Amino acid sequence: MPEGDSLVNLATRLRPALVGVPIVLARAAEALAPETLVGLSVRAIETRGKHLLVHLSDTTTLHVHLGMTGRFFVDALDTPGLGPAPGVSLHLETSTHRVLGRTVPTLERLTAGRLLRHPHLASLGPDVLGETFDAGAAAERFRREPYVPLGEALPDQRLVCGIGNVYKSEVLFLEGLDPWRRVVDTPPAVLVAVLERARGLMLRNLGPELRRTRRGLDADRYFVYERSGSPCRRCDTLIAMARQGDMGRSTYFCAACQGVVRATQPRS
């Protein structure tokens, strides 16, 4: 699942292919006016949490969110193409590279003004992978949602952006915290530790290797994520999964290690 680290890795793959060189071919939905992309170049590629912003030389920006389905493929132009394929949302070529975006649910072209006023982008909290990320200041923002359980607060992109279901489950396990514990019942220093743990794990996953939060000798990449029914690596209790919040997002946990009494909790 794409979380902040996936987006930073995508930006790292896209930059050598796109930045500073003219676009010679562009195919996309009509709303993106692909014919007007030809001749432009990419000025910069930026990430904000799970969002990717491709800033173009005409001051417009392509805004990308991969959702659950979006994927990008970057190839040297002399690599054989896959031929016409369904689900291509964006096809860009420079004189050296081909970039294909497949089944990308959010792909829009924004003027500089619309970028500034974009309701979703403007509401994002600090980026957990941002260079200037301050875990103390970010933890303070969590006080805006005191009665929300940690398992819902961590992936709330308005509080801090970049954390999704994988890191939420892994970090709460590693910090020994009940995902149904509310923000108000969590000391600020504990929240800071959670955010610093998330940032540290994500920074270690920048690069081409498969994401992992666990570096054991066996094949498991994660401590709890997608391991329900398997024994906890620390205490042998079976890992469980429960749905949290209005979105019904999955939370994986070890009830013993994390002191989970019941996997539901009233809001107040």
**Which residues make up the interface to Zn ion (CB under 5 A)?**
232, 234-235, 237, 254, 256-257
Rounded distance between C-alpha atoms, residue 239 and residue 124, angstroms: 32
Asked if residue 135 lies in contact with residue 127, where contact means CB atoms within 8 angstroms, the answer is no
CA distance 203 to 150: 21
Decide whether 198 or 240 has the Cβ nearer to Zn ion: 240
DSSP tag of 182: B
Nearer to Zn ion, 150 or 232 (CB): 232
* φ, ψ for residue 11, nearest 5 deg: -60, -40
Cβ proximity to Zn ion: between 184 and 256 the closer is: 256
Enter the tokens of residue 148: 């929300």
Residue 197 beta carbon to Zn ion: minimum distance, rounded to whole angstroms:
17
**Could you tell me the smallest distance in angstroms from the CB atom of residue 264 to Zn ion?**
20
Phi, psi torsion values for 123, nearest 5 degrees: -90, -5
Q: In angstroms, what is the minimal distance from the CB of 256 to Zn ion?
A: 5
Cβ(160)–Cβ(141) under 8 Å?
yes
Indicate the residue type of 8.
V
The CA-to-CA distance between both ends of the chain, in Å, stands at: 31
Decide whether 121 or 257 has the Cβ nearer to Zn ion: 257
DSSP result, 131-168: TT--HHHHHHHGGGSTTSBHHHHTT-TTTSBS--HHHH
Answer positive or negative: Cα dihedral of 66, 69, 70, 72.
Answer: positive
Rounded least distance, CB 168 to Zn ion, Å: 17
| CB-CB contact of 124 with 48 (8 Å) | yes
Q: Min. distance of Cβ 184 from Zn ion in angstroms?
A: 26
Smallest distance, Zn ion to C-beta of residue 66, A = 32
| Closer by beta carbon to Zn ion, 117 or else 234 | 234
Closer residue to Zn ion (CB): 142 or 252? 252
Minimal CB distance residue for Zn ion: 232
